């Protein structure tokens, strides 16, 4: 879907923000880019919709170089959500959402229907919210509108640059949950920048860890936790979250085996988080064994959810 070949960005002042990156982002994937401040995440993201021109290499979308797309076509077909959403203050919520559909000359009826459909999708009553002005909404609600605005013309790709980082922890968690649910329905290709590992682990199908303009590791959340490529990734993912490893208790996650079917692999009920993740890298679910008997199973999703939950408790 989105292919980076030897992509570099050198700013006019000589800063090498991105160095010869190769990367393939798959269609329908929730792809998270994470790394410390200044590692090149935003630069990488903004090169996709040509907000920042490349210095070297090529980026292709569906096999066509981004430089060969009409710039309007490219921007309209890529939704974009920023940290400070910057809704137009003098326009209503409905008008803000309608911007790209208007540019694309959609019929007015279709635009009206789309506004209401989107507001409903993110839990904002259309009757109440479509004619409000942005300042009449909370920060979390404005950010929701930002997400709907990016989705308005149904673009296949959405770029999100730290979209929730200005929100308080509770709103932030809620929007993350909602975005996950939404993504299950809409199956967009989402490229999401964050510097927050717990957010990355919660949301990402795959996570790309960057440092100094280079990719250090790309992998699923369980890959990164179980097999960090080097000390940097291990520290970034693991050490900050020591309590997660200490608190981990497989017993809490065991569910009964409802269907009689071949379970792919077996794990001891007293296994550590590392052992569990190692096995879950290769298997979706594991049978849990205690004193020689199978007492239930655990699956990958519930383990990742527990991890994200413990990490979130920590920041409060
Ligand atoms: P991140 O999003 O990971 O914080 P950025 O992509 O914003 O990183 O920045 C990567 C590097 O490029 C940093 O060293 C930053 O200072 C530099 N940089 C970003 N934008 C510019 C610019 N317009 N001109 C010069 N240097 C820039």
Q: Which of 174, 207, 165, 209 is CA-nearest to residue 190?
A: 207
**Co-location of 129 and 273 in the same domain:** no
- Of 227, 251, 276, which marks where a domain is finished? 227
Any idea what the CATH number is for the domain that residue 291 is in? 3.90.1280.20
Beta carbon of 40 within 6 Å of any ligand 1 atom: yes
| Residue 312 pLDDT class (50, 70, 90 cuts) | low
Range of the domain at 283: 241-314
b/e code 148-165 from CB counts within 10 Å (16+ = b): bbbbbbebbbbbbbbbbe
- In contact, 28 and 81? CB cutoff 8 Å: no
43 alpha carbon – ligand 1 mean position (Å)? 6
Beta carbon of 14 within 6 Å of any ligand 1 atom: no
Any idea what the CATH number is for the domain that residue 200 is in? 3.40.50.300
Total of domains in the chain: 2
The 10s digit of each residue's pLDDT in 183-203 is: 998 899 999 999 888 899 999
67 alpha carbon – ligand 1 mean position (Å)? 22
pLDDT at 244: 61
- In contact, 21 and 214? CB cutoff 8 Å: yes
- In contact, 216 and 210? CB cutoff 8 Å: yes
Determine, yes or no, domain membership for 61.
yes
The 10s digit of each residue's pLDDT in 265-308 is: 888 887 878 778 888 888 888 888 888 888 888 888 888 877 77
Point out the ligand 1 atom lying closest to the alpha carbon of residue 42.
Answer: 2
- In contact, 170 and 90? CB cutoff 8 Å: no
**Which residue CA neighbors atom 14 of ligand 1 most closely?**
38
pLDDT at 316: 46
Point out the ligand 1 atom lying closest to the alpha carbon of residue 37.
Answer: 4
Please give the share of the chain, as a percent, with pLDDT higher than 90: 53
Q: Which of 52, 72, 60 is CA-nearest to residue 6?
A: 60
- Of 227, 260, 283, which marks where a domain is finished? 227
**Co-location of 6 and 147 in the same domain:** yes
- Average pLDDT value for residue range 75-103: 89
Question: pTM above the 0.85 mark?
Answer: no
Comparison of pLDDT for 171 and 23, the residue scoring more: 23
**Co-location of 177 and 215 in the same domain:** yes
**Co-location of 204 and 257 in the same domain:** no
Determine, yes or no, domain membership for 72.
yes
Dihedral sign computed on CA atoms, order 196, 197, 198, 203: positive
Point out the ligand 1 atom lying closest to the alpha carbon of residue 13.
Answer: 25
The 10s digit of each residue's pLDDT in 105-132 is: 999 999 999 999 999 988 899 999 999 9
pLDDT of 310 strictly over 80: no
């Amino acid at each position: 879907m989105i292919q980076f070949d030897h992509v570099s960005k050198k700013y006019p002042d000589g800063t090498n923000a991105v160095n010869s990156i190769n990367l393939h982002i798959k269609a329908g994937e929730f792809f998270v880019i994470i790394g410390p401040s200044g590692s090149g995440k935003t630069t990488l993201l903004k090169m996709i919709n040509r907000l920042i021109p490349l210095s070297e290499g090529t980026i292709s979308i569906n096999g066509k170089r981004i430089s060969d797309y009409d710039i309007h076509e490219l921007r309209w077909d890529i939704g974009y959500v920023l940290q400070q959403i910057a809704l137009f203050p003098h326009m209503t919520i409905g008008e803000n959402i309608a911007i790209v559909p208007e540019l694309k000359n959609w019929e007015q009826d279709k635009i009206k229907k789309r506004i209401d459909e989107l507001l409903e999708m993110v839990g904002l009553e259309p009757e109440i919210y479509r004619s409000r002005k942005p300042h009449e909404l909370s920060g979390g609600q404005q950010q929701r509108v930002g997400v709907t605005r990016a989705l308005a013309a149904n673009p296949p790709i959405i770029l999100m640059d730290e979209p929730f980082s200005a929100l308080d922890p509770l709103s932030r968690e809620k929007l993350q949950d909602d975005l996950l649910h939404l993504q299950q329905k809409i199956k967009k290709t989402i490229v999401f920048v964050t510097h927050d590992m717990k957010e990355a682990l919660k949301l990402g199908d795959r996570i790309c860890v960057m440092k100094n303009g280079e990719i250090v590791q790309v992998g699923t959340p369980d890959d990164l936790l179980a097999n960090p490529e080097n000390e940097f990734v291990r520290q970034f993912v693991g050490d900050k979250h020591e309590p997660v490893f200490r608190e981990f208790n497989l017993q809490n996650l065991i569910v009964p085996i409802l269907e009689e079917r071949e379970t792919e692999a077996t794990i001891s009920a007293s296994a550590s988080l590392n052992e569990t993740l190692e096995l879950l890298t290769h298997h979706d679910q594991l049978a849990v064994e205690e004193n020689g008997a199978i007492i239930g199973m655990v699956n990958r999703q519930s383990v990742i959810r527990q991890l994200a939950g413990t990490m979130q408790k920590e920041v409060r």
